[in-house]
Structure 1
Amino acid sequence: MTRSAITVTAPEGVPEVRKGDDLAALLLAALESEGLQDGALRDGDIVVVTSKVVSKAEGNVREGTREDALPGETVRVVARRGPTQIVRGRLGLTMAAAGIDASNVEAGYIVLLPLDPDASARALRATFRDRTGTNVGVVITDTAGRAWRDGQTDIAIGAAGLDVLESFAGQIDAYGNDLVVTAPAVVDEIASAAEISQGKLGARPFAVVRGRADLVREPGDDGPGAGALIRPEGSDFFGFGAREAVVRALKGAAEDQTPFGAPASIEELSAAVAEVTGTAPIAHEGGLLVDGADPAVIAALAFAHGWRCDHEDTNRGATSLSLPMTT
């Protein structure tokens, strides 16, 4: 498919957003002042809105500090490094400090993430349809760090009316290779493209991305939302930080099992036991029997791989590992 050039417009002149403000009206007024090509939204445009102004308009601003609010926004702690906490928050997003923000807000106050960003995006999309007659997509964004790389980028935490993934699975590239799992997260790419125009200090909380109308769904079809991009608990390779994974495996609490993922195969567990202990486990009644190793070590290895220690044979110094747990 041939695509035209993509343009991003982030209008100036948006006033400070307060609880109860009409975000759609603010954007339309800003676009009129900016002169977005024909001065109005078009079918196929994608409207990008920062989560901060959504939270402000919805009244999700609190007096206090990040530390005060963090427990209430946290489902579980993924990793800690000094004062920094990476947590899985109530929306399922894994972010530093649950995405709680103390910038671009009055001193002594913090901004929490919207209660339901996908629902907020759906409501904005419907409002634009009612007021302008246009069929647009809506993306709500927030800033997030990334594993393995310094710096932050904007990602989509809410979306309505557009495809969030662009799957190429089943297609063939120019060299004749089958594409199996290629699926760009286009909604995150749109969020980052918009942020380049918006900037962090420019008081430009809105942007309009034009040129990807192929991603925008028909009126009445809001799509799966940005929540569809969040991996379920247990499917992420990095359910805990490196230090935290060691602690959780040694502790062996049942509530910590899910983030370690689906149970490993008997071959994978055997290889791990052999690598750590230097002892090759023996297949035993559908499970494994490990001779001459510290039971605490074996228990931690079993827990991290989704297995269970059935019992310890003190006479021969062996530990029996059962078939995988149900997770």
Structure 2
Amino acid sequence: MPEFAKHLELIGMDNLPEIKEGDDLTVLFLNALEEKDMGLEDGDAIVFTSKIVSKSEGRVVDLLEVEVGEVAEQMAKDTDKDPRIAQLVLNEAKEVVKKMQNHIIVETKHGFVCANAGVDESNVEQGKAVLLPKDPQRSAYLLKQGLERRSGVEISVLLADSFGRAFRDGVTGTCMGVSGIPAILDRRGEEDRFGKVAKVTKEAIADEICAAANLIMGEFKEGIPVVLVRGLKLKRCESDIKEVLFSREEDLFR
């Protein structure tokens, strides 16, 4: 049975500069920690917004440079969206799942089912849009490796983005990539307090951590793109966010 924390500390980094292509997020984060007279400790988890990872990796698109095709033009009319955004959504999509007023639900090339393929115009200059990282799982791994090499401690890294949920309104922090801790905890076989054995329960631990971090990060003007989570008692391992994604055969709703 895994050991669980009874107390967690979440610390928002509100002193990072505006991120641009080529920035080393490991250096910027460690500098921000030092400014707060803090350091990393073994077991810390660092949650980065996917947006600053995308910015550092050059995943920002100038909308003036987007060439719009006929399919995107029609989709823009059907959904009341900017045709250039519709084209970017199609570029990032593996499959269009559903479309309606102001929403295009797709499965991205990563395997995420989300609105607008994660294409986002918030917290970026006018006339530009930010795409999700090309390989958020690899990005999480590289950030963890860089932070561990520079700090000398064992940590984990998660990439978070705000996703909506089927059958519920509103968005919440969701994990895009994870390195150093499990993406999901298989609780099957464990007994509850009355001796009943769990048969199906798996806990989306990486999503839970990202949702908690999102309480600090916020959505718009907060300016807190990184959150340090301290106090987790999770077994260290390498995992993959794909572990939480249903295959088409497992998906009950498509």
TM-score class normalised by the smaller sequence: 0.7 to 0.9
Segments of 5+ residues of structure 2 without an aligned counterpart are 64-83
1:8 corresponds to which letter in structure 2? L
Q: 1:83: Cα distance to partner?
A: 3.3
* Separation (CA, whole Å) in 2 of partners of 1:48 and 1:83: 29
Are 1:12 and 1:34, in contact at CA under 8 Å, matched by a contact in 2?
no
Separation in 2 of the partners of 1:153 and 1:83?
Answer: 19
Task: Give the deviation of 1:2 after TM superposition.
Answer: 6.1
Paired residues of 2:5 and 2:233 also in contact (CA < 8 A)? no
Residues 6, 211 of structure 1: 8 Å contact kept: yes
Alignment of 1:127-142 (within 5 A): 127-142=146-161
Aligned to 1:253: none
Partners of 1:154 and 1:192 within 8 A in 2: yes
Q: Give TM-score scaled by structure 1 length.
A: 0.68
What letter matches 2:251 in structure 1?
D
Work out which of the residue numbers 6, 16, 23 in structure 1 matches 2:25. 23
Which fold has the larger relative contact order, with Cα–Cα distance below 8 Å and residues 6 or more apart in sequence?
2
The CA deviation at 1:160 is: 0.7
Residue 235 of structure 1 is matched in structure 2 by 250
Query: 2-side partners of 1:13 and 1:214: how far apart?
Result: 28
Question: Where does residue 79 of structure 2 map in the other structure?
Answer: none
Task: Specify the alignment match of 1:94 in structure 2.
Answer: 113
Question: How far, CA to CA, are the matches of 2:244 and 2:88 in structure 1?
Answer: 25
1:202 matched to 2:222: yes
Q: Aligned equivalents of 1:46 and 1:100: distance in 2? A: 26
For residues 101 and 14 of structure 2, what CA distance do their matches in structure 1 show?
38
* Contact 1:43–1:213 (Cα < 8 Å) also in 2: no
Q: Give the structure 1 partner of residue 49 of structure 2.
A: 50
Q: 1:224 aligns with which of 239, 242, 249?
A: 239
Q: Deviations over 1:234-287 (max 9, x none)?
A: 321112xxxxxxxxxxxxxxxxxxxxxxxxxxxxxxxxxxxxxxxxxxxxxxxx
Secondary structure of the corresponding residue to residue 33 of structure 2: helix
Q: CA deviation at 1:26?
A: 1.1
- What secondary structure sits across from 1:54 in the alignment? helix
Deviations 1:267-324 (A, max 9, x none): xxxxxxxxxxxxxxxxxxxxxxxxxxxxxxxxxxxxxxxxxxxxxxxxxxxxxxxxxx
Q: Secondary structure at the match of 1:127?
A: helix
**Aligned counterparts of 1:25 and 1:52: Cα–Cα separation in 2:** 17
Partner of 1:176: 195
4+ runs of 1 displaced by more than 6 Å? none
SS in structure 1 at match of 2:99? strand
TM-score normalised according to structure 2 size: 0.88
Which residue of 145, 151, 169 maps to 1:126?
Answer: 145
Moved more, 165-174 or 104-113: 165-174
- The structural deviation recorded for 1:197 is 1.2
Which structure's CA Rg is the greater one?
1
Q: Determine which of 38, 52, 68 is the counterpart of 2:87.
A: 68
Give the whole-Å Cα distance in 1 for the aligned partners of 2:119 and 2:231: 32
The residue that corresponds to 1:319 in the other structure is none
Q: Distance in 1 between matches of 2:17 and 2:98?
A: 37
Q: CA deviation at 1:181?
A: 1.3
**Which AA in structure 2 matches 1:232?**
S
Give me the CA root mean square deviation.
1.3
Q: 1:2 to 1:232 in 2, by over 3 A?
A: closer
